[in-house]
Amino acid sequence: MKNKKNEETNSRRNFLKLGLMAGAGTVAATGLLTTGCSSSGEKIKVLTTSGEVMEVDKNYLTLAPVGREESHEGIPGRKFVMVIDLAKCKNARKCVEACQQGHHLPKGEEFMKVYLMQDSEKTAPYWFPKPCYHCDNPQCVSVCPVGATYKRSDGIVLIDNERCIGCKFCMTGCPYSTRVFAWKPDEEYELDQPYSPEKGVPGVEGTVSKCDFCPDMAREGKLPYCASACPMGVIYFGDIDEDVVTNGTETFKFSELIRDRSGYRYLENLGTRPNVYYLPPVDRQFPVERGLDGLDEETRKRFDNTPYVKKLKDKEVKL
Residues comprising the chain, all counted: 319
Question: How many whole angstroms separate alpha carbon 124 and alpha carbon 281?
Answer: 9
Closest to another protein by CB, 178 vs 275, is 178
Per CB under 8 A, 107 contacts another protein: no
Interface stretch with another protein, choices 36-44, 212-220, 227-235, 299-307 (CB under 8 A): 299-307
Amino acid at 153: S
Contact segment (CB under 8 A) with another protein among 166-174, 189-197, 227-235, 253-261 equals 166-174
CA distance 294 to 28: 36
Which of the ranges 71-79, 205-213, 252-260, 282-290 carries the binding residues for another protein, by CB under 8 A? 205-213
Q: Minimum CB separation from another protein for residue 159, in Å?
A: 12
Q: Which residues 6+ apart lie within 8 Å of 52 measured at CB? A: none
CB of 91 to another protein, least distance (A): 11
Footprint (CB under 8 A) of another protein, residues 176-195: 176-177, 179-185
Sole window of 6-14, 203-211, 240-248, 279-287 interacting with another protein (rule: CB under 8 A): 203-211
Q: CA of 210: how far to CAs of 16, 74, 82, 318, in Å?
A: 26, 17, 16, 42
In the bound state with another protein, the residue whose beta carbon lies nearer, of 30 and 149, is: 149
Residues within window 124-143 making contact with another protein, judged by CB under 8 A: 130, 139, 142-143
Q: Is 99 helix (H, G, I), strand (E, B) or coil?
A: helix
Q: State whether the Cα torsion 268-270-272-278 is positive or negative.
A: negative
Q: For residues 196 and 68, what is the distance between their CA atoms, to the nearest angstrom?
A: 5
The CA distance from 86 to 279, in Å, is 6
* Minimum distance, C-beta of residue 313 to another protein, in the bound complex (Å): 16
Name the residue among 82, 91, 83 with its Cα closest to residue 284. Answer: 91
| Member of 17, 267, 310, 314 binding another protein (CB under 8 A) | 267
Q: List residues binding another protein (CB under 8 A).
A: 108, 113, 115-117, 130, 139, 142-148, 163-169, 171-173, 175-177, 179-185, 204-208, 267, 270, 272, 298-299, 301-306
